[in-house]
Amino acid sequence: MTTTRGQRFLSAFKPYQLWRFLVMNVKILRGVDRSKRLPAFRVKYKVSYVVPGGEMPSVIANTSKPHQAGDVIRLLDRDVEVIEVRQMMRPRNQFTFLEAICRPVEGK
């Protein structure tokens, strides 16, 4: 891509630049307004919890925070530790689909 003569002319043509200045101001004010007022965008995580070895059945649940390896969570009345989190498919809109591989926490 190269800058054409027309573009070069327009980039210094004052009436056109006044219009661009107004457009930019509107965009900036819109951006400022949105970043000031937007309610936080809530992502929903649909997590399939898998405990290998068949000790516990898989569970699917919604959470508002993605798990990380090392998290200990309560699953079907037992404490399990998350050892790996995988993304099962690309997120769609607000939904993220995760698979959390877990192991029962010793002694619980």
Partner 1 sequence: MAKVVIIGAGFAGHTAALYLGDALGEDHEITVVNKGTEFCYLPSLIWLGVGRMAPEKLVFPLAPVYERFGVRFVQGQVTEIHPADDYVVVRPVGEEATRRLDYDHLIVATGPHLDYAGTPGLGPDGGHTESVCWIDHATRCRDAYLERVERMEKGERIRFVIGSGHPMATCQGAAFEYLANVHHDLLRRKLRDRADLEWLSNEDAPGDFGVGGVQVKRRGRVVGSDTFMQAVFEDFGVTARSGCGVLGVDEKRIHWEDLDGVEGDTRYDFAMLIPRFLGPRIRWVGKEGEDLASRVVNPGGFVLVDAFYGLPYDRLVDTPEAWPATYQSPNFRNVFAPGIAFAPPGPISRPHVTPGGRQITATAPRTGMVSATIGRLVAMNVIGLVREGKMKHQARMTEMFAACVASVSDSLWSGSAVSVVVMPVVPNHMRYPKSGGRDPLSTHLESGLAGAWMKYTIHKTMLHKMKGRFGWKIIPE
Task: Give the interface with partner 1 as residue ranges (CB under 8 A).
Answer: 1-3, 10-12, 14, 17-18, 20-21, 23-25, 27-32, 34-36, 38, 40-43, 65-66, 68, 85, 87, 90-91, 93-94, 96
- How many of the other CB atoms lie within 10 Å of CB of 45? 19
The half-sphere exposure of 77 on its side-chain side, counting CA atoms within 13 A, is: 0
- Residue 17 tokens read as 């630049």
46 exposure class (CB count in 10 Å sphere: 0-12, 13-18, 19+): middle
Q: Please state the closest distance from residue 106 (CB atom) to partner 1, in A.
A: 24
- Residue 38 tokens read as 């937007």
Q: Please state the closest distance from residue 62 (CB atom) to partner 1, in A.
A: 14
Closest to partner 1 by CB, 30 or 108:
30
Closest to partner 1 by CB, 34 or 54:
34
Q: Please state the closest distance from residue 58 (CB atom) to partner 1, in A.
A: 21
